[in-house]
Structures are given as C-alpha cells and as structure tokens.
C-alpha cells in the first residue's frame, strides 16, 4: 500500500489532519479529502507539473481543479493549488493551518457557494 513516506520519508502529517481523518470529517461538500488509493497518482502528477515543490495533497474541490496540500518543509501551512495550471501560476491561497482551511470550507458549505 502507498504511503506518503515513499515520496517524502521525513514528512509527518500535522495533528489536525490526523484528527479530522480519525473523526471521519472528510467531506465538506465542495471540498473533500482525496481517497488514499488516489494519493500516489496525485503526488506523482504534482511532482511532474511542479518539480520545484514538494506538495502532499489531501483534499480537492469538486467544482474546479483546486487541491489543498501540505508542502514538505513549510510546517502546518495549507497550500491551495490550482492543479494543471502553468508552473509558477499554480498558487491560489495559503492558510496558516488546516483548521483555518476547514473553517473556510465550512463557511462555503453554509453559504452554498
């Protein structure tokens, strides 16, 4: 079975991510956690498209190509990447931690945006 450590041996998921997964809080309507069986393909694609970054995707947005990622070496920050865009133009947003990302995902859910 695939593990992120196959790509980034020193990578550790932040506590918040592990807590959300353990509680099965993985679907926020527009945003949902990427199934484990799709992570290897997504990481390999990101490595190909954005070779200067070490992105670990964990969620995707259902209505566009945005994905939420941790970036190896950047602590607990969450990077919103517009996947498949031209290298250098992929960055959409950054959150200090997963809890701020979840807060916005829930606000979008409530607003129905």
Domain coverage including residue 77: 27-111
Is residue 81 in a domain?
yes
SS3 15: helix
E strands, the chain, in order: 27-28, 31-33, 55-61, 66-71, 78-82, 91-95
- Tell whether the model's pLDDT for residue 1 goes beyond 70: no
Q: How many domains does the chain have?
A: 1
pLDDT tens per residue across span 9-41:
999 999 999 999 999 999 999 999 999 899 999
DSSP tag of 6: G
* pTM to 2 decimal places: 0.93
Is residue 22 in a domain?
no
- Tell whether the model's pLDDT for residue 2 goes beyond 90: no
Contacts of 12 (CB under 8 A, 6+ apart): none
For CA atoms 73, 81, 108, 105, the dihedral sign is: negative
Q: How far apart are CA 1 and CA 99, in angstroms?
A: 28
Is residue 101 in a domain?
yes
pLDDT tens per residue across span 54-76:
999 999 999 999 999 999 999 99
């Amino acid at each position: 079975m695939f593990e992120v450590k196959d790509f980034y041996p020193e990578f550790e998921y932040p506590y918040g991510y592990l807590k959300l997964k353990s509680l099965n809080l993985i679907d926020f309507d527009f945003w949902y956690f990427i199934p484990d069986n799709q992570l290897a393909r997504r990481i390999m694609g990101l490595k190909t498209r954005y070779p200067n970054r070490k992105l670990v995707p964990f969620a995707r947005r259902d209505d566009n190509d945005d994905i939420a990622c941790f970036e190896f070496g950047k602590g607990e920050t969450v990077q919103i990447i517009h996947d498949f865009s031209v290298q250098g133009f992929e960055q959409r947003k950054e959150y200090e931690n997963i809890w701020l990302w979840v807060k916005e995902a829930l606000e979008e859910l409530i607003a129905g945006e």
